[in-house]
């Protein structure tokens, strides 16, 4: 296995399970079974490593939700959380832990959230037959809330958010 993809996988797991700040570069090197020198050679810095981890996670996430409708979007979220875990959004967790002090991390988070918003807007347009930016924003909020609440409510949070999303779509159709 190539060293850097294995490192990214290890870093993603540690950042998600223990937090970005709690996962030191020494811990990352030890867990990835490489020297600190090799780690820095590949990653450059912890922030650069986090940006690469988020890029991999972004690609993997959007592969799961591509081409869905509103109902399927939340079903895909349930599957994602079932596979990945229910500790909240890694993007927002890393952003929160760094306090917005790492511009590259901020940019990665903002790009991911903008991509999610555009994706949901396309889903809404396909479901309604017309664009509705307000509805897309509400569904994104329900989606993000389900991600956060699944940490303590489990699948029930996703099911509740899906029901609410379908209700607002139905209301928009009727309007």
Q: Evaluate whether 122 touches 129 at the Cβ level (below 8 Å).
A: no
H-run or E-run covering 32 = none
Mean pLDDT of the 161-168 span = 98
Give exposure, 10-41, as e/b (b: 16+ Cβ within 10 Å).
bbbebbbeeebeebeeeebbeebebeeeebbe
The pLDDT score that the predictor gives to residue 66 is: 83
How many folded domains does the chain comprise?
Answer: 1
CATH number at residue 40: 1.10.357.10
**pTM exceeds 0.75, yes or no:** yes
User: What is the structure's pLDDT at 21?
Assistant: 97
Average the pLDDT over 132-143 and give the result: 98
Predicted local distance difference test score (pLDDT) of residue 87 = 95
Residue 2 φ/ψ, nearest 5 degrees: -60, 140
Structural domain of 31: 3-174
Percent of the chain's residues with pLDDT above 90: 94
Q: What value does the mean pLDDT take over residues 11-30? A: 96
Start-to-end CA span in the chain (Å): 54
Q: In the prediction, which pLDDT does 92 show?
A: 97
User: Taking a C-beta distance cutoff of 8 angstroms, is the pair 172, 164 a contact?
Assistant: no
Cα-based distances in Å from 9 to 13, 31, 62 = 6, 11, 17
Structure token digits, residue 171:
């209301």
> How do residues 7-20 score in pLDDT, each as one tens digit?
999 999 999 999 99
pLDDT band at 1 (very low <50, low <70, confident <90, very high): very low
Query: CA 54, CA 42: separation in Å to the nearest integer?
Result: 16
Q: What's the Cα-to-Cα distance from 129 to each of 58, 120, 163, 173, rounded to whole Å?
A: 27, 14, 20, 9
Contact 113, 131 (CB under 8 A): no
Residues 6+ apart with CB under 8 A from 48: 104
Predicted confidence (pLDDT) at residue 23 exceeds the cutoff of 80: yes
* pLDDT of amino acid 49: 97
53-95 pLDDT, tens per residue?
A: 999 999 999 999 887 899 999 999 999 999 999 999 999 999 9
């Amino acid at each position: 296995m190539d060293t850097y993809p294995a490192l990214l996988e290890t870093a993603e797991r540690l950042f998600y399970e223990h937090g970005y700040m709690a996962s030191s570069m020494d811990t990352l090197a030890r867990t990835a079974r490489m020297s600190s020198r090799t780690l820095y050679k590949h990653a450059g810095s912890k922030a650069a490593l986090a940006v690469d981890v988020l890029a991999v996670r972004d690609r993997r996430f959007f592969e799961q939700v591509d081409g869905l409708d509103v109902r399927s979007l939340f079903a895909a979220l349930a599957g994602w959380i079932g596979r990945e875990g229910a500790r909240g959004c890694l993007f927002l967790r890393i952003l929160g832990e760094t306090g917005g002090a790492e511009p590259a991390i901020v940019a990665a988070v903002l790009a991911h959230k903008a991509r999610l918003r555009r994706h949901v807007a396309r889903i809404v347009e396909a479901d309604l037959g017309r664009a509705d930016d307000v509805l897309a924003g509400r569904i994104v909020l329900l989606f993000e809330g389900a991600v956060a609440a699944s940490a303590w409510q489990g699948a029930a949070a996703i099911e509740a958010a899906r029901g609410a999303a379908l209700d607002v779509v139905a209301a928009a159709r009727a309007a």
